[in-house]
Amino acid sequence: MIKFLLQKNDIESEDEYIIVKNILDNNNLYYEEITQDELSSYCDKKYIPIGNIEFVREAIQIMYQPDFIEQPIEIPTYLQTPEFLKRTYKICKWNEIPRKGKWFIKDASKMKYFRVYADTEFIIDDEIFDYQPKFSYDNSISLPKSDDYIVSSPYRIDSEYRIYVIDSKIVNSEFYLGTSDVKPDMALIEKAVELINTNEKWLKSYSLDVMVGELGTAIIEIHNFSAIGLYNRKFDKEILTTYTQGIEYYLNDNRIKYKE
């Protein structure tokens, strides 16, 4: 029997918490509610954690893998083609980041750590990498030299959509930015999902973010379902499949895919 561990008292996810709790109750499923501070008492138990990124990470560390750190999926190498990218896109180290021109820069090694769209001449220089604070209130940015960075060229965006894939099937497409009547190319998205299904054994429930512009539909990034918190009201019991498959992916795969 699958048992769920639901995070409570997380103010940012309160609405989603109520939604998931109702789904669990309505389907008579076993679950417990705890705060993140109470996770340490679950070291000898096996649950599917449901909560924010930090809660899920610590729950996996305590119950399954002490050294667990989620690897961002970004865009796997088999999808890094002109058909799906429609822009310059490369993975590089700190010293390979362009020092001039407008670029989108993102830390690929850490979840939600650093991203910026800017003229790199005014924001990127050698000193910010492995920077050590010089006084107690020094909040200067510091980026690890050891991390990987995504560098991509500007893309004129008319709209952005999040495609939800559950159990390897597209179940929903949700507009979230721009002009809603500019639709994504679903045939291209279906082709991307087919390639993911062919290349991945454990990646079954995830979101696929895409942008639409004058060059067409392009992939932004992919998130394992457990890595993007709790979800919208369009899901019912199927959302529990996503959490289960998301944890299975973390426990059985969780490889770096953007530079294989």
**pLDDT tens digits, one per residue of 105-117:** 999 999 889 999 9
What domains are defined for the chain? Answer: 4-63 (no CATH), 88-152 (no CATH), 156-252 (3.30.470)
Q: How confident is the model at residue 136 (pLDDT cuts 50, 70, 90)?
A: confident
- Rounded mean pLDDT, 55-69: 96
Whether the pTM exceeds 0.85: the reply is yes
The pLDDT confidence band at residue 226, using thresholds 50, 70 and 90, is: confident
Cα 194 from Cα 200, distance rounded (Å): 10
pLDDT category at 10 given cuts 50, 70, 90 is confident
Q: Is 138 helix (H, G, I), strand (E, B) or coil?
A: coil
Where b means 16+ CB within 10 Å and e means fewer, 221-250 reads: bbbbbbbbbbbeeebeeebbbbbbbbbbbb
The C-alpha atoms of residue 220 and residue 148 are separated, in whole angstroms, by: 17
Residue 260 has pLDDT above 80, yes or no: no
Q: How high is the pLDDT of residue 120?
A: 94
pLDDT at 234: 63
Q: What is the pLDDT of residues 148-187, one digit of tens each?
A: 999 999 999 999 999 999 999 999 899 989 999 999 999 9
pLDDT of residue 24: 92
Is 132 exposed, middle or buried (CB count within 10 Å of its CB: 0-12, 13-18, 19+)? exposed
